[in-house]
Amino acid sequence: MPPLSNREIAETLERYANLASIAGENPFRSRAFQRAADVVRDLHEPVAALIDRGDLRGLPGVGSGIAGSIEALVLTGTLPALEALQRTVPATLLDLLQVPGVGVKTATRVYRELGVVDLPGLVAAAQSGRIRVLPGLGSKTEANILAAMDSIQRRTGRFLLGAALPVARRLVDDLQAALPSDAAVAIAGSVRRMEETVADIDLVMSTTAAESLPSAVADLPQVLGMVETAPNQFQISTQAGIPVDITVVEPSGFGTALILATGSADHLALLPGPLPASPTEEAIYAGFGLEWITPELRQGRDEVTLAKAGTLPAPLKTGDVRGEFHAHTVWSDGTGTVLEMVRSAADRGYAFLGISDHSRGLGVANGLDAARLTAQRREIEAVRQATGFRVFASCEVEVHRDGSLDFDNDVLDTLDVVIASTHSGLRQARDVLTERLLAVIDNPRVDIIAHPSGRLVERREGGDFDWDRVFAAAAANRTALEINASPERLDLSGDLARRALQAGCLLTIHCDAHSTSGFDALEYGIATARRAGADPRQIVNCWSIERIEAWLRRGEV
């Protein structure tokens, strides 16, 4: 039996946790298995290695009971607790959790009250009107399930960039350390272009000793196996479950191979001739009379024309972002205090931070009412005084289905920055959804629209907005639109952000951090802005404090 990858182990633990919740077993046990799944999924070395060293019980949240289950899973390929549970509860119930908006509670109800055991049964129950009669669900839930089934069919099955990029970087570092000193290893393909989803990881390696690669790879902890698919081309299977393709070339052709492996195909088709052999990309582009084109822009659009004219946008850098307005604390659904989040922002070189916890309309996130918002404002002021750091008192204010906001104008006027966001009703008809957002943008107290489409990459499609109207209104009102840097959102997408910029909109880039480590996501937002061709002058949180405050008064942009 081939060894299970960490990803396969984590998925099995998670399957048990979810099925046990549906079956009504001890909720503490279910949560413990889910925590263990999260820990295993993020490990950099095989679980089997931890077992061999006796270190498995040292993992956070892995006690003797769960450790025994994991050891049995690694040894036999099965989880006895899951096998026993599946004899009493249909395993096909787990498929229901693929449907956006259907969580464990809803799956449990339709199973127990309607006898639904799989996706076809869920569709049949929705089509027959049986879901709408369940208290607390209703016709909207029923309609959302039917709409979501269509979106499931459109999923690509690709990996999120946020999962693939760290794996690629660890492989590059480990290969570089394991290979002869003359070797160079670089990320290529869709990961290097920072696309929001990827099918695999592409690496290009230059060395004069290609025969050393198999032995070097075999000892890497994150590698399960490797096969040669063609001369000097290899495919690696990884603990993370993401396939890796490696192309090995002579150093004299490293730049050529890197351009070819990075793509995209549409970009390569725009280049004015066959690629000469060269050790660097820059020399090849220069030979064509072009500026070097950043990988994010290699989309087959106008990048070659701009490179020939010398008018490519200057690549946006993480250091260009001077702070963020959108961050959460323990006041709503974050894990850091106001002080901890401010200190983390300062440690990262930021000049300011906006504390923007959810408003009351998002009850699931412990949203703030007006009284708690006032109390939080006092804490923000105390932190501001104690640290000397510029802290904006903000709020992520929920947009209701009719376009109204959670707070009235008097409450909004107490805030330094108002961020409006839509978390529900995203399946409304295009005209209704668009008018709803336009009403928010036209509100002079609203400064920023958070994650405007509401999408979750590969999990939930965004709302069907009339983006031309949205962008025109945002440009006219100087209301900024967010690029949410979370790899699960990347919203606005690169394509929509490009259209927004062309319409004259202002953008912000936010990590939507819910913990001190949440700011690590910034590079994904930067990459999205680069794919859109953004300039720092178009990004509000790249500006000076003085200009930001003038913009908030709409006195200068």
Q: Which two tokens stand for residue 498?
A: 């490009």
What ranges in 244-403 are assigned the alpha helix state H?
A: 254-262, 265-270, 281-287, 303-309, 338-347, 370-387
- Tell me what pLDDT residue 273 has: 87
CA distance 316 to 324: 16
151 — pLDDT class (breaks 50, 70, 90): confident
Provide the pLDDT for residue 44: 77
Mean pLDDT value across residues 140-160: 79
So what's the pLDDT on residue 433?
96
Question: What pLDDT band is residue 139 in, cutting at 50, 70 and 90?
Answer: confident
What's the whole-number mean pLDDT along residues 500-527? Answer: 96
User: What would the mean pLDDT of 202-231 be, rounded to a whole number?
Assistant: 84
Q: How confident is the model at residue 412 (pLDDT cuts 50, 70, 90)?
A: very high
The CA distance from 523 to 166, in Å, is 12
Cα separation of 285 and 152, whole Å?
41
> If you average pLDDT over every residue of the chain, what do you get?
92
- What average pLDDT does this structure show over 425-450? 94
Query: What number is the average pLDDT over the span 358-380?
Result: 92
Portion of the chain with pLDDT greater than 90, in percent:
62
Q: Out of 182-186, 212-216, 457-461, pick the least confident.
A: 212-216
Residue 1 has pLDDT above 70, yes or no: no
Check if CATH label 3.40.50.300 holds for domain 159-309. Answer: no
CB 209 within 8 A of CB 180: yes
Q: For residue 501, what pLDDT is reported?
A: 98
Q: How much is the pLDDT for 213?
A: 80
What would the two tokens of residue 135 be? 């208290």
Q: What is the mean pLDDT of residues 114-138?
A: 88
Looking at the chain, the domain(s) classified CATH 3.20.20.140 span 318-552
What's the pLDDT score for residue 557?
Answer: 56
**Could you give phi then psi for residue 182, rounded to 5 degrees?**
-80, -5
> What mean pLDDT is predicted for residues 361-383?
92
The fold for domain 318-552 equals TIM Barrel (3.20.20)
Residue ranges of the alpha helices (H) in 301-419? Answer: 303-309, 338-347, 370-387, 409-412
Judge whether residue 555 has pLDDT over 70.
Answer: no
Instruction: Find out whether the peptide bond into 344 is cis, omega within 30 degrees of 0.
Output: no
Is pLDDT at 17 greater than 80 in this prediction?
yes
Of residues 554 and 413, more confidence is placed in 413
Question: What count of Cα atoms within 13 Å lies in the side-chain half-sphere of residue 202?
Answer: 20
Does residue 153 surpass a pLDDT of 80? no
Phi, psi angles (nearest 5°) of residue 357: -70, 160
| Mean pLDDT, residues 420-430 taken together | 89
**Which residues, 6 or more positions from 303, have their beta carbon under 8 angstroms from its beta carbon?**
267, 270, 293, 297, 312
In this structure, CATH architecture of domain 6-153 = Orthogonal Bundle (1.10)
The per-residue pLDDT for 2 is 63
* DSSP-H helix ranges across 296-353: 303-309, 338-347
Please say whether the beta carbons of 246 and 232 come within 8 A. Answer: no
Mean pLDDT of 66-77: 90
